[in-house]
A and B are shown apart, each in its own frame.
Chain A
Amino acid sequence: MTHTQTATATPALLSIEGLHKSYGAVEVLKGVDLSMQRGNVVTLIGSSGSGKTTLLRCVNLLEEFQGGRIRLDGQDIGYSEASGKRVRHPEKVIAQHRAMTGMAFQQFNLFPHLSALQNVTLGLLKVKKMPKDEAVALAEKWLERVGLLERRNHFPGQLSGGQQQRVAIARAIAMNPSLMLFDEVTSALDPELVGEVLSVIKGLAEDGMTMLLVTHEMRFAYEVSDQIVFMNQGRIEEQGHPKELFERPKSARLAEFLKNIRF
């Protein structure tokens, strides 16, 4: 188990302890523990409804959680304990913490009224308070990196799904987050557009970006991840190195899951 890693000299970038999350009476996360080192790529897999997207969304507080603790870079995310009481952070603090993580969504969620360049600069200008010329230069650097510099003045409606997703990744990564979250970023794409997005993510992984992914692209997960986490019914069933996990699954549920997956 990876818990032993936390005992080493470098503290975990992300540590999740005993995370509980329910929608009303339905408990979707039933005590999740996970820790990630800086520069690691961790992929969450599991059948739909297993809680992997919810777990990802708890990390930047797009979902509230009712129990447990999430720490990112030594800071409590969302809530902190004050004299035995659980207190939600003020909105400003939460917004600052959210800026420490970047997120790419399944549906891209680009701002349709802003050009590709403006989508990327918005956070730089309004959250990072960067001067305009600096923000534009940085945004252009990242748009070039995802291969879309010449489309910087196009609006989302004028871009293909794959291009929109690459702009969305540039928007998130330009904020210089310590952790990138990818939530099924290729699930809404036509099959021939999946490759261009995956190769962008792969490039980021090679640069040492810390990433937490949810994906159904098993071959990609196998190639890019340092650690695979298999979730089942709101719990982590099994985790480990991709080779070990895919080739010698210990739990019956994971073996069953892998049997039904095409690589």
Chain B
Amino acid sequence: MYEQPTWLHELWIAREALWGGFLTSVQCSALAILCGTVIGMFGGLVLTYGNVWGRLPFRLYVDLIRGTPVFVLVLAVFYMAPALGWQISAFQAGAVGLTLFCGSHVSEIVRGSLQAIPRGQLEAGKAIGLTFRQSLGYVLLPQALRQILPTWVNSSTEIVKASTLLSVIGVAELLLSTQQVIARNFMTLQFYLFAGFLFFVINYAIELLGRQIEKRVALP
């Protein structure tokens, strides 16, 4: 007699596909957050302290990317890269798109927090004989980084959510893997809920991590 397959049974069958999707989502998000943060730190510094020739390209980059939907950005990289003679995989194209998006946001976060530091801090650094670089490293950035932490966590979770858009260019991240599993067993509600739960787990882990760091670096 035919037995109705249970959800747990189907989950067991799909475990490898879903695990692979989960890992892909984590990987491309982590890569984008990491590279985007590096770009953003640099961009924020240039936007705050750079001369006009440094600020201009970053201002253009930030305004352009922030004013464009991530979806369009991912598609643009995916289709434009080969047209420009750059052969990259869908995963790479997606990671580049997310990185550009993350970098533009972090640039503005860093700029905002650096500009919020009272001018007297840099002057006090100068007054004891610190060079600009030393002031930056020992006085300004330690204060700015404490400021950006909550907003940076927020941006990072946005990147994880935006990584679902990579399904459109055929990257088998968690959402696309889930859709493929559903196409096989038609358990739409169960598997979408499960995917949602996994995304929540990733973001909640980032939030917990952020809160831990915030607690550790909090000033009395």
Contact = CB atoms under 8 A, between A and B. Distances in A.
**Do they bind each other?**
yes
Interface of A: 60-62, 91-92, 95-96, 98-99, 101-103, 105, 107, 109-113, 122-123, 126-127, 155, 157-158, 168, 171-172, 175
A98 B120 CA distance: 15
Contacts of B182: none
A70 B40 CA distance: 41
A155 B218 CA distance: 11
A88 to B, nearest CB: 14
B124 A105 contact: yes
Given A126-B138, A155-B220, A157-B219, A98 B124 contact: no
Of all A-B residue pairs in the complex, the 5 with the closest CB atoms, nearest first, are A99-B129, A123-B128, A109-B124, A109-B120, A127-B129
Given A62-B123, A122-B138, A112 B130 contact: no
Contacts of A155: 219-220
B121 to A, nearest CB: 6
Given A62-B123, A157-B219, A158-B220, A111 B129 contact: no
A98 B138 CA distance: 17
24 contacts: A60-B126, A60-B127, A62-B127, A91-B132, A95-B126, A95-B129, A98-B129, A99-B129, A103-B124, A103-B127, A105-B127, A107-B118, A109-B118, A109-B124, A110-B124, A111-B125, A122-B128, A122-B130, A123-B128, A123-B129, A155-B219, A172-B127, A175-B128, A175-B129
Contact of B123 (A91, A109, A110): A109
Contacts of B131: 91-92, 95
A102 B129 CA distance: 9
B120 A107 contact: yes
Contacts of A99: 128-129
Interface in B95-141: 118, 120-121, 123-132, 134, 138-139
B120 A126 contact: no
A112 B219 contact: yes
A86 to B, nearest CB: 21
B211 interface: no
Contacts, number: 74
Interface in B118-177: 118, 120-121, 123-132, 134, 138-139, 142-143, 146
Contacts of A126: 130, 134, 138
Contacts of B138: 111, 122, 126
A60 B143 CA distance: 25
B61 to A, nearest CB: 28
B146 A62 contact: no
Contacts of A60: 126-127
A245 to B, nearest CB: 29
Given A105-B120, A157-B220, A158-B220, A113 B146 contact: yes
Contacts of A92: 131
Contact of A111 (B124, B134, B220): B124
A110 to B, nearest CB: 7
Nearest to A155: B220
